[in-house]
Amino acid sequence: MGYRVVRTDGVEPAPDRPCELRRLSAPAGLEQMAINRFVAEPGEQLPLAYHYHDDQEEAFYVLSGTLHVETPEGTYELGPNDLFAVDPGSPQRAYNPEEADAPVDVIAVGAPPASGDVHAYEPEP
C-alpha cells in the first residue's frame, strides 16, 4: 500500500505559464494520470493555447471563481463545484475572462498522462 499527502501550496509553480500552474503528479507519485492545480487571474488562460488531445481525457473541477471554457460548440461557464469533462479529440481553451472580478482556482486531471499528445487548434472564423 502507498499513501502520500501533497500540500499543493508548497509545490513550486511552473515557470513561463499564462497563469499559476502547480504540477501535482510527480509530488504525489502518480504515473497513470496528470493532475494540476491552476489559479488564473482575470485575463489569464490555463493552457498555453486552444488545443485538443489525441488520447487524453481531461476534467476540470472548479474550486472557486468562474471558469470559462471555449469550444467549437460555444463557451461554457462553470462555477465552484462544477466539473467539465473533455473527450479526446475535442478542442477547448479554459480561461478567466478579463472582466472577471476574481481569480479562478481549478484542479485539472488528465489520463492517461501523455506528452506529444497535444495539438493546437485554430477555430474557423
Q: What angle do CA 47, 61, 32 make, to 5 degrees?
A: 75
Domain that holds residue 27: 20-120
In a domain, 64, yes or no: yes
Give start and end residues of each alpha helix (H) in the chain.
25-28
In a domain, 2, yes or no: no
In a domain, 110, yes or no: yes
In a domain, 85, yes or no: yes
pLDDT tens digits, 18-48? 999 999 999 999 999 999 999 999 999 998 8
In a domain, 101, yes or no: yes
The reported pTM is 0.93
Specify the CATH number for the domain of residue 104: 2.60.120.10
In a domain, 45, yes or no: yes
In a domain, 38, yes or no: yes
In a domain, 77, yes or no: yes
pLDDT tens digits, 87-109? 999 999 999 999 999 999 999 99
Domain count, the chain: 1
Query: What is the C-alpha radius of gyration for the chain, rounded to an integer number of angstroms?
Result: 14
Task: Please identify which residue in the block is written with the cell numbers 497535444.
Answer: 118
